[in-house]
Amino acid sequence: MISRLQRPAALIILILAAVVIIYPIYYAFAASMMTSGEMDSFPPHLFPSSLYLANFKLVFSLVPVAQFLYNSFVVAIAITAGHLLTASLAAYAFAFIRFPFKAFIFSLFVATMMIPWEVTMIPNFLTIRNWGWTDSYWGLIVPFLTTGFGTFLFRQFFLQLPKEIFEAAKMDGLGHMGAFVRIALPLTRSAFATLAVHSFIGAWNMYLWPLLITNEESMRTVQIGVTMLQFEEFTSWNLVLAGLTLMMLPPLLLLVFGLKQLVGNVTLGALKG
Amino acid sequence: MGNKLAKFKEAAFGFGFLMPSLLGFGIFLFYPFFKSVYLSLHSTNPRGQIVDFVWFDNFKDILGSEHFYQSIKISFLFALMTIPTCLIISLCLALLTHKKNKINIYFQLIFASSIAIPIGNASVIWKILFHPTAGMFNYFLSFLGIDPIGWLTDPAYALISVSIMTVWISIGFTYLVLLSGIKGIPEDLYESAKMDGAGSSAMVRKITLPLLSPAIFFMSVISVIGALQSFSQINILTEGGPANSTNVVVYDLYQEAFVNYRFGTGSAQAIILFLIILLFTIVQFRIAERKVHYS
C-alpha cells in the first residue's frame, strides 16, 4: 500500500520523533547515574560512563524519598480503589436498576465532568481545613474518591453485556448485589484495568491539591517532594534527577504493563456515551 | 401491593448503589461549586470567613483591571500554541504507527510514555534542560551555531518554552486517544476502498479522518479545558514570570486566593474561568454538530 520510498522515509521520521520524545526521560535516567564530575564537565556527557548508583543512595539519605513514595502510594492506591468501587456501583445502578429520577441523576453525573476542579478548590480547601484534615491522608484522599469518567466507562461496558445473563440470574434468585459481584464485575475486568491505570496515574500526578493542604515534610507526596529537592541546599542536578528517576518509575512501569489496556479502552467511556 | 413493594425495593437498591458517588460529588463538587458562587459575592478575611456581602463588586474589580485581561490573553495564547501543535503531531504519529507489527509496539510505548510522567516531575527535568548556561538545549543549539536562548528568563521566549514542554507532556494522552480511535475503524472499509483503487493518502482523507473526527473532537474539547486549567508547569518553570509573561488564569487565581488570601475575588475569578470554559465547550459542540461524523 505504501510505496517503497515512503516506507523508509516514514521510519526515519518516526525514529527522529521517538528520539526527541524520549530524550527528556532518557536525560533524567542518564544524568542520575553520572558523577558530579561528569555532570559539570564541558562538553556535557550524553551517556553515563558507568552504572554509578551512589546518587540514589545519597538522595535517600538527604531527602525522605522513601516517605514521599510511601505517601504517594497510599494516596494513589486508595483513590484508585475508591474510583473502582464508587464508579462500578453507580454504573451498575444506571445500567441495570430501575429507580425514579434516573435521567436527572445521570445528567448530574455528566455535569461533574463540566465543572473544572479549580472552581471547587477554594471551598474544598476551607472544608478540609475546618475539619482539621490538612497534613493527613484523609485530606489527600477523601475529596477524590468519585469519578464521572469512570462511571461512564463502566456503564458502557455493562451495557454491552448480554441482557439474557442477568435475566437468567434473576430467575435463579440472584439479587442485584449478587449479580453485581458474581456477574457484572467478573465480565468487565478490562474496564477495571483501564480505570485502575487511568486513576492511579491521575492520582500519582496530583500537584496543586497536595501543595495546598500539606505542609509537614512527612505528609508530602512525590510531586511536592520533587520541587523540594530543587530548593534544598544541594542543587546538584544529578542528585535531583536521581530523586526524580525513583519517583517516575512506578507510573512508568505501570504504563509498560498496562499500555494494552489503555489503547482501545481509553476512548470508550468518552466517545460512545 | 407486592408489585409496589418490589418497585420500592428496586429503587432502594438503585440509590444504595449510587450513594457513595452521590455523597462524594455532593460534598466535594456540588456543595463547593455553589459555595464558590456564594464566596464570589462576598468579601472575606484572610481566614476565609465572610466579612460582607458585596454584590458583584469582586467581578467588577476583576473585569475592570488590565491585569486580568492580560492573564486571559496569555491563557488563550498558550492554548493556541499548544493544542493545534499537539493534535497535529499526535495525529501524524498515530497514523504512522497504528498497524500491528513488531516495531510499532515500541513506537507506541515511546509515544505514549509521557502519559506516565507526572507533570511536576517533567517540569523539573525541563527546567534543568532549559537552563541558560548549563542546560542541554542551549548546548544542542550551539552545534547549529545559534547563540544561547534565555528559555525561561527572556519574556519573549518564556511562554513558548512552557508551551513546548506542555506539547511534549500532552502528546502521550492525545496520541493514545487518537491511536485507539484509528484502531476502532473497521478493516473492511479499507479493503473495499483498496478494491476501488484508492491510494493510501486518499484512504486517510476519505476514511480515516472522517471516522476519526469524533476522537479528534473529543481531544480538542479536553485540550481546551486542560490548557485553560494549566498550573503545575507554570508554577515550577516560571512562577508566572518573567514580567508576568506566563501568568495564566489559574496561576493568577492561585496567587489571589492562596498567596494574597483574598478568597472572595479568587472565587469570582474561578467562576469567570468556569464560564469561559463552559462557553468554549458549548461553541465547540455547536461547531461539531455540523462537522463531526458519527457512524
B129 and B36 assigned to the same domain:
no
Kindly report each contact of residues A24-30 with a partner whose C-beta sits within 8 Å and lies 24 or more positions away, as own/partner.
A24/B122, A24/B125, A24/B126, A24/B129, A24/B168, A25/A248, A25/A252, A25/B113, A25/B114, A25/B117, A25/B125, A27/A241, A27/B125, A27/B129, A27/B136, A28/A241, A28/A244, A28/A245, A28/A248, A28/B125, A29/A245
Percent of chain A with pLDDT strictly greater than 90: 32
Q: What percent of chain A is predicted at pLDDT more than 70?
A: 90
Kindly state whether residue A239 falls inside one of the protein's structural domains. Answer: yes
How far apart are alpha carbons B95 and B208 in whole angstroms?
A: 9
pLDDT greater than 60 at residue A232: no
Residues of A in contact with B281 (CB under 8 A): 114
Within 8 A of B21 by CB-CB distance, chain A residues are 86-87, 89-90, 109, 146, 151
CATH code (residue B227): 1.10.3720.10
B172 and B26 share one domain: no
pLDDT score of A1 more than 50: no
Is residue B17 located within the same domain as residue B110? no
Give pLDDT, residue B7.
87
Expressed as residue numbers, the domain containing B35 is: 2-40
| Residue A21, pLDDT above cutoff 90 | yes
Mean confidence (pLDDT) of chain B: 89
Same domain, B126 and B236: yes
Chain A's closest residue to B124, CA to CA, is A227
Is residue B50 included in any domain, yes or no? no
Q: Is B5 exposed, middle or buried (0-12, 13-18, 19+ CB in 10 A)?
A: exposed
Q: What is the pLDDT of residues B75-121, one digit of tens each?
A: 999 999 999 999 999 999 999 998 888 888 889 999 999 888 888 88
Does residue B161 share a domain with residue B35? no
Let me know: does A92 contact A158? Beta carbons within 8 Å: yes
Whole-angstrom Cα distance, residue A153 to residue B216?
19
> Which letter does DSSP use for residue B132 in this model?
T
Residue A235 has a pLDDT of 65
pLDDT number for residue B173: 86
Tell me the residues of chain B between 23 and 82 that have a Cβ less than 8 Å away from chain A: 24-25, 27-33, 35-36, 39, 48
Domain annotation covers residue A40: no
Q: Average pLDDT for residues A22-35, to the nearest whole number? A: 91
Is residue B90 one of the residues assigned to a domain? Answer: yes
Tell me whether residue B113 is in a domain.
yes
Q: B107 and B211: one domain? A: yes
- Considering its fold, how many domains does chain A have in total? 1
DSSP string, A109-132: HHHHHHS-HHHHHHHHHHHHHHTT
pLDDT tops 90 at residue A77 = yes
Residues B104 and B12 both lie in one domain: no
| pLDDT confidence bin for A89, thresholds 50/70/90 | very high
What number of helices (H) and strands (E) belong to chain B? 14, 2
The CATH number that applies at residue A266 is: 1.10.3720.10
How far apart are the C-alpha atoms of A55 and A33, rounded to whole Å? 7
> What does each C-alpha distance from A258 to A245, A251, B112 come to in angstroms?
20, 10, 11
Instruction: Report the pLDDT value the prediction gives residue B175, as an integer from 0 to 100.
Output: 92
Contacts with A220 from chain B: Cβ below 8 Å: none
C-alpha dist (Å) from residue A39 to A35, A48, A51, A270:
6, 9, 14, 45
Do B130 and B275 have their domain in common?
yes
Q: Is residue A79 part of a domain?
A: yes
User: B72 and B195 share a domain?
Assistant: yes
In a domain, A26, yes or no: no
Q: How many alpha carbons fall within 13 Å on the CB side of residue A238?
A: 23
Cβ distance A118 to B270 less than 8 Å, yes or no, reads yes
C-alpha cell at A88: 462500578
Whether B117 and B231 map to the same domain: the answer is: yes
Residue A158 lies in a domain: yes
Residues B209 and B106 both lie in one domain:
yes
Average pLDDT over residues A245-262: 80
Domain span holding position A263: 57-271
Give residue A273's pLDDT: 32
- What is the CB neighbour count within 10 angstroms for residue A53? 11
Comparing B232 with A49, the larger pLDDT belongs to: B232
Nearest to B123 by CA among B218, B223, B237: B237
In-domain check, residue B51: no
Q: How many domains does chain B have?
A: 2
> Are B148 and B11 contained in the same domain?
no
Which residues in chain B have Cβ-Cβ distances shorter than 8 Å to A11?
103
- Residue A164: Cβ within 10 Å count: 8
Per-residue model confidence as pLDDT tens digits over A263-273: 655 554 444 33
